A and B are shown apart, each in its own frame.
Chain A
C-alpha cells in the first residue's frame, strides 16, 4: 500500500475519460484525485489499527507484549497463543452451538417471514397495512425491552440453555425486519404474473412456492447472509437465555474467556480472531450480497 507504487497514470486509467477542455483542467483534476486517494489510504490505515493491533498481540509472547511497543510487529510469531486459546476456551464447542443455531434459525426464519410477507403483499384481506405496520414496528423496538419476561417464557417452557430455546426467540425477533424487506420486494413483482398463474389453475401455495419465491432469490440470498452474520453475533438474548457454559455461543464464549483470563492478552486476542473468522469468510465469499441487502433496505425501506 505504499504511495509510490501507484503512479498518477494508474489512478487516471481508472477514471472514465471525461471530456477535458484545457491542460490546466486536466492537471487540477488529477491532483484532486490523487489527494483524495491519499486521504482515503491514510484513513483506511487508521481504520485498520484495531485489527492490526489485535493480530500483532495475538502473535506475541507474553514477554514481547510487555516489553515491546504495541505497533512493533511480532518478528518471531508465537503461534502457541492460538493453541492455548483453543485449549483454555471452549471455542469449538461454542462454535458448534453457534453453527447449529444459525443453521436452523436462518432458513426457518426466512421461510416464515417470506410466507407472511407473501400473504401481506399478494393476498387481500382487511387491515392488511395495519398488520404490516404492527409487525414492522417490532423491528424497531430494542430487544432489551422484552428480555426479562422472555426469560420467564423460555424458563416456563423449560428451554433455558437449549438450542431450541434461543432459536425460537431469534426467529421471532428476526421476523419483523425480514418480513418488512420481503414485503417491499414482493410488491415490486408485477401482479400480472399472479393473474396468469391463477388462470393456469395455480393456488396460493403454488404461487408462493413456484413463482414468488424463485423470483425473489436475490433478496432472499441477501437476507440469508445478513441474518447468518447477525445470528452468529447476537449477544444479549443469548446472555439471558443460555446459562450453562456448555450451551454458550461464540459471543458468550468471547466474553467468558475475557473475564476468566483477564491478563492473558495473547491468547485472548487469538481467541477473538478465531471467533470472527467464520463471519469474515462468509463476508468475503458473499460480499456482493451485503451491498444488495443494504440496497434492498435503502430503496424499499
Chain B
C-alpha cells in the first residue's frame, strides 16, 4: 500500500465502510461486467466439455449403434447391469486401471523425488542430467509407445541382445508384450520412463522453497542427513507432493495412448483400461450405450477422487 500514487490512508473505520459499499455495488453489476471476459471460455467449455459429459451420462441409459439416424432405445440400467455382470473385460479394465494408479503413485513418484533430491545438489553437469531425465516427458506418448514396442520386439529387441550379452537365453524368450501376465507391466515401464522426469521437475520446483537457513540451523543443532530430510525437507515438500499426487492420479486414470500404441488392449484384452475399453465399445463395437456407461463409471471414479481434493484446497485457501 505504500506506493506514491496511493492517497493518504483514511481513518480505519471509514475505509472499511467504503470498501463494503464498493463490494455491495460490485456484486450487482459484477457479473454483467465480467461476462464479456467469461463468455468465450464458458461457451467453449459448455459446448465441448460439460455438454458431452452430460450427454455421455444420458446415453448410458440408451442402446444405440452411434450411427446418425439409427434409433436410440431407452433401456434404463441395462447397460450397467451388462457391464457389471456380463462383461469380463470391464472388470479386467477396472482392475488394471486401479493397478496402474497405485503403481504410478509409488514408482514414478519415488523415482522423481530421489532424482530431484540428487539433482538439487551442486553437481558437475547437473543441468544436462536434468534435461535427459525430463526429455521423455515432452515426447508424444504414441511415439514413446512405438519406441518401446520396438525395444520389446521378441526377435530383434533388447531382450535378445541382453540374452547374448549375458549368455542368458531365457531373457530372449520373455514375451514382453505377448505374455498376458506381463504385458501391462511392460507398458507401465514405458509410463515410468515418460513421467518420472516430470515428477522430478515438480519436486525440484518444490525443493526451492526449502529454506537453506532451516537446513543450516538443523545441522548446527546436530541433526544428521536423514533427520534434516525427515524434519525439514519433507514438510516443506508437502504442497508440491499434493500436486504431484493429484497429477499422477489424473494422468494414470486417463492412460490411453501408450496402451493403444503398444498392445491395443491385448493380448486377450489383458491390458485393457477403462478409458480404452469405453472408447473401444463406442467406436470399435458400436455399442454406444455400453461405451458411455463405462465412461460414466470412469467419470464417477474421477469425481470421487477430485471433489474432496477441490473442497480441501478451497478450505486451505480460505484459511490462508
Contacts and interface: CB of A to CB of B under 8 A. Distances in A.
Interface of A: 6, 10-11, 14-16, 33, 36-37, 39-40, 43-44, 47-51, 53-54, 57, 65-66, 69-71, 112-113, 115-116, 118-120, 123-126, 129, 133, 135-153, 155, 168-169, 171-173, 175-176, 179, 192, 195-196, 199, 204, 208, 229, 232-233, 235-236, 239-240, 250-251, 254-255, 258, 265, 268-269, 272, 275-276, 279-280, 282-283, 287, 290-291, 294-295, 297-299, 301
Interface of B: 1, 3, 5-6, 23, 26-27, 30-31, 33-38, 40-42, 44-45, 47-53, 55-56, 59, 66, 68, 115, 118-119, 121-124, 129, 131-136, 138-144, 146-151, 153, 156-158, 160-161, 164-165, 193, 198, 201-202, 204-206, 208-209, 239-240, 243, 246, 250, 253-254, 256-257, 260-261, 274-276, 278-279, 282-283, 288, 291-292, 295-296, 298-299, 302-303, 306-307, 310, 314
A290 B310 contact: no
B164 A69 contact: yes
Contacts of B257: 235-236, 251
B168 to A, nearest CB: 14
26 contacts: A10-B124, A15-B122, A39-B118, A54-B147, A57-B150, A70-B156, A120-B38, A140-B246, A144-B278, A144-B295, A145-B296, A147-B278, A148-B288, A168-B48, A171-B44, A175-B49, A235-B142, A235-B257, A258-B149, A276-B143, A279-B139, A280-B138, A280-B139, A291-B201, A298-B205, A299-B240
Give the dominant DSSP class at B's interface.
Answer: helix
A298 B56 contact: no
A28 B288 CA distance: 65
B270 to A, nearest CB: 19
B146 A272 contact: yes
Given A11-B123, A14-B124, A144-B295, A123 B205 contact: no
B310 A133 contact: yes
A146 B52 contact: yes
A100 B320 CA distance: 43
Contacts of B283: 148, 151, 240
Give the dominant DSSP class at A's interface.
Answer: helix
Contacts of B303: 137, 141
Contacts of A139: 250
B142 A287 contact: no
Contacts of A57: 150
Contacts of A229: 138
Given A47-B133, A140-B306, A144-B256, A153 B48 contact: yes
A177 to B, nearest CB: 10
B143 A251 contact: yes
Nearest to B278: A144
A133 B310 CA distance: 7
B279 A147 contact: yes
